[in-house]
Amino acid sequence: RFASQIESKSAATMEVNQECPGNLKRQLEKLFDASLRSTVPDNTRVKPVVTTSPLDRSGDYQCNNAMGLWSMIKGKDSQFKGPPAVGEALLNNLPASEMVDSISCSVTGPGFVNVVLSTKWMAKSIANMLIEGIDTWAPTPPVKRALVDFSSPNIAKEMHVGHLRPTVLGDTLARMLEFSKVEVLRRNHVGDWGTQFGMLIEYLFEKFPDTDSVTETAIGDLQSFYRKSKSKFDDDPDFKEKAQKAVVRLQGGDPIYRKAWAKICEVSRTEFSKVYQRLQIELEEKGESFYNPYIANVIGELDSKGLIEESEGARVIFLQGFKIPLIVVKSDGGFNYASTDLTALWYRLNEEKADWIIYVTDFSQKQHFDMFFKAARKAGWLPESDKAYPRVDHVDFGLVNGEDRKRFRTRASDVVRLVDLLDEAKSRSKTALIERGKDKEWTPEELDQTAEAVGYGAVKYADLKGNRTTGYTFDFDAMLSDKGNTAVYLLYAHARICSIIRKSGKDIDELKKTVELVLDHPEERALGLHLLRFAETVEEACTTLFPNVLCLYLYSLSERFTSFYSIHQVNGSPEEASRLLLCEATAIVMRKCFHLLGITPVYKM
């Protein structure tokens, strides 16, 4: 029954919905697709590619297909003399559209077709979004159900600064997919199984002979509990032997050992949830142990497909391109990290029917993921192409370093807990608010909530703004600065826009219905264009799994707002009503970015 279940799993068929009304790039690509087809009717190879124009070019977007088309057709007796001629034909064959104001193509060079958008159309699109909501600008990835495996700490080890990235990165990816109307399973693959539990359980028995009475406070700091049991394990051969036997009894299902194990997991869980609560992160735990009942069957299924071989007493899968095989059954007969991950993948594909599975861990696990993904392909669980669905991705990231590692340690080996780090971020931002006299203006609750939004927001943003593949230095002073590309600066910019709107005393919802939004001045148009690039940016961040793209967008959005606002008066100007709408649209897009990054916006600062 089990095997046939696996067989019946066919590559998920999905309706690929590429419509996205808010996505300018996609809409232009559709136009150029038509143009491509009439220019070179037998073309099947070259797909339309539209990019934002570099600053030094005339135009807002450009189509870069002429070169590719040219190299495809040049051998045959082509009517075209070179790429510029192809570009010109693309231009001439472009269907008329109200979004386009003018198109041009230079007579030399690679034949780029430059598109200048209609300013009127741009204004209308923004006005539409104001009425219909920003959800109309959400991406539409070809996925129904995604599973994001993120955070995933190991039991009995306290969450420290190193856990920030897998938690924050995974959360923002989940948020972007949720915004895209994909159902997301937010999965916490906690390390709750393995040989370390032998020593933890034995140590627990020693300290608390009556396991029932053990409470969280009794165990106290789990990390030092772990450390003490580890040093006993290393120093005391009798204890070591007991611990090894304990593992066997635990894995054999002995109820007393199971109970002790469950207790330790529970205490850990309480610790983790404090961090998740502070960061407002939702996760559903299915730890490694969850997959135990399925492992033997899944390994059996791989075996029946002829994937598994014996090697030095272990059972392994040899994979092309790797010097070492993937061990799936250790020489002592036990299962390991890889067998669990293969089983979890099987479960996610077959039981949970996920069509996109995303794993967030640091780069040191890259080989592990590459290998078991490859094994899954070999087993026919996944399509050959790594871009086809159902699809798996490993989102790897570089490490967080303290500029001075000691700052993250209290005693010799005590890494600073993530909760304490977050508390410090909050208290530092509170101090900064008090220095600005906010304790006299606001209620204590407002002060506290703002300090939290700013403090936690700063920590998250500092983690997300850089390219995830490189590490970064954790630096409170830099992340809490109100200048430059920081959450503080961005939250402040948003609050300022809100205050402009508040001070006008106007009813924005009324204005949306009665006033025409215009983008007459260059700064208004530039701001408007950037707003309209929101949809394509989220799509890029979400499909390439690089959230820093969205951070960069958000930062330039506030810069563009500043350029607009430093030149143009809003309140009291003849263009007041239209400009208030532009302010409102900017605030809405900023808030959506904050939301996607897991940052709580503030409305006054």
Binding site for ligand ARG (CB under 6 A): 149, 152-154, 189, 191, 341, 344, 359, 361
Reported as type and span, the H/E element at residue 194 is none
Nearer to ligand ARG, 62 or 154 (CB): 154
Shortest Å, Cβ 485 to ligand ARG = 30
Closer residue to ligand ARG in complex, CB, 83/153: 153
Write down the least CB distance from residue 157 to ligand ARG, Å. 8
How many angstroms from the chain centroid is the CA of residue 85? 42
Residue closer to ligand ARG, measured from CB, 344 or 538 = 344
The nearer residue to ligand ARG, 341 or 539, going by C-beta atoms, is 341
Q: How far is the CB of 163 from ligand ARG (least distance, A)?
A: 8
Backbone angles phi, psi at 494, to 5 degrees: -65, -45
Choose between 189 and 417: whose C-beta lies nearer to ligand ARG. 189
Find the helix or strand (DSSP H, E) in which 305 lies.
Answer: none
Q: Which is nearer to ligand ARG, 65 or 361 (CB)?
A: 361
In the complex, least distance from residue 189 CB atom to ligand ARG, rounded to whole angstroms: 4
Which residue carries 């109970």 as its tokens? 259
- Identify which of residues 123 and 371 has a Cβ nearer to ligand ARG in the complex: 371
Minimum CB distance to ligand ARG, residue 134 (Å): 32
Alpha helix segments (H runs only) across 280-386: 292-304, 337-350, 366-378
Nearest to 378 by CA among 322, 334, 310: 322
CA distance 549 to 57: 22
What are the helix (H) ranges across 332-486?
337-350, 366-378, 418-435, 438-441, 444-464, 476-479
Query: d(Cα 208, Cα 201) in Å, to the nearest integer?
Result: 10
Q: How far is Cα 191 from Cα 179, in angstroms, rounded to an integer?
A: 29
Provide, rounded to whole angstroms, the least separation between the CB of residue 438 and ligand ARG.
Answer: 39
Using CA atoms, how far apart are residues 495 and 493, in angstroms rounded to an integer? 5
Indicate the residue among 266 and 362 with the shorter CB distance to ligand ARG.
362
Which of residues 341 and 463 has its CB atom nearest to ligand ARG in the complex?
Answer: 341
State how far the Cα of 207 lies from the Cα of 224, in Å rounded to an integer. 13
Smaller CB separation from ligand ARG, 176 or 344: 344
Closest distance of CB 365 from ligand ARG, Å: 6
Give min distance, CB of 596 to ligand ARG, in A: 23
Q: Looking at beta carbons only, is 152 or 339 nearer to ligand ARG? A: 152
Task: Output the smallest distance, CB 288 to ligand ARG, in A.
Answer: 8
Terminal CA-CA length for the chain: 61
Shortest Å, Cβ 153 to ligand ARG: 6
Cite the beta strand spans of 43-167 per DSSP E.
Answer: 50-52, 61-63, 100-105, 113-117, 145-149
What are the distances in angstroms from CA 315 to CA 265, 288, 301, 337? 30, 20, 14, 14
Beta pairing, strands 183-188 & 356-362 = unpaired
Q: Token pair for residue 150?
A: 């993120």
CB of 433 within 8 A of CB of 581?
no
Cα-based torsion angle of the residue sequence 291, 294, 298, 300 in order, rounded to the nearest 10 degrees: 140
414: three-class secondary structure by DSSP:
coil
Name the minimum Å distance from CB 496 to ligand ARG. 41
Nearer to ligand ARG, 152 or 450 (CB): 152
Q: Which amino acid is at 197?
A: F
How far apart are CB 191 and ligand ARG at their closest, in Å?
4
Question: What does the alpha-carbon distance between residue 598 and residue 150 come to, in Å, rounded to a whole number?
Answer: 15
Q: Is the separation of the CB atoms in 486 and 479 below 8 Å? A: yes
Residue pair 480/490 in contact by the 8 Å Cβ criterion: no
Smaller CB separation from ligand ARG, 288 or 584 = 288
Write down the least CB distance from residue 419 to ligand ARG, Å: 18
Q: How far apart are CA 501 and CA 505, in angstroms?
A: 7
Q: 310 by DSSP, 3-state: which?
A: strand
For residue 284, list its beta bridge partners. Answer: 187
Residue length of the chain: 605
